[in-house]
Amino acid sequence: MLGSREPEVYGFQTLADINDECEEYATEIGFALECRQSNSEGELVTIIQQARTTCSGLIINAGAYTHTSIAIHDALKMLDVPVIEVHLSNPQAREAFRHHSYISPIAKGTICGFGAHGYMLALNALRALLDDEG
């Protein structure tokens, strides 16, 4: 619902706009990128589990599941690749129930509050992490 849901918080860009920007930037920095989205917690768990054998890193914006999903937390713990948590808004500047993240303890880092630009920051961070490993 990006672009129409609370644009004062999440901006006016659609998910397709953000995915296009990310794919273009990923190509510039030498990444192959696969963008996935689901409103289903179980499907997100499946996507994360599939990433165990197909990805060098994972950037995740779990939305409200960030604050509620032990299943996503457990799936992310199984990964042997860097995980970066992204939020368009700054959860710490919002309602108290958004202050806890089940993802942060697993993530190498969290990028929040920079809108869609946070994904470019996450791609740069992932590039640096993978360069340090290699």
User: CA-based Rg of the chain, rounded to a whole angstrom?
Assistant: 14
- Residue 7: the pLDDT is 58
16 against 124, higher pLDDT: 124
Q: Say how far apart CA 113 and CA 102 lie, in whole Å.
A: 18
| Pair 61, 54: CB distance under 8 Å | no
CATH 3.40.640.10 fits 7-133, yes or no: no
Q: Which active-site residues does the annotation give?
A: 10, 87
Which residues of the chain form beta strands (DSSP E)?
A: 58-60, 83-87, 109-112
- Residue 41: the pLDDT is 98
What is the domain partition of the chain in residue ranges?
7-133
- Residue 74: the pLDDT is 98
| Pair 47, 36: CB distance under 8 Å | yes
Considering only 10-24, 31-45, 102-116, which range has the smallest mean pLDDT? 10-24
Residue in 64, 48, 53 with CA at minimum distance from that of residue 107: 48
Q: In whole numbers, what is the pLDDT of the chain averaged over residues? A: 92
- Residue 13: the pLDDT is 75
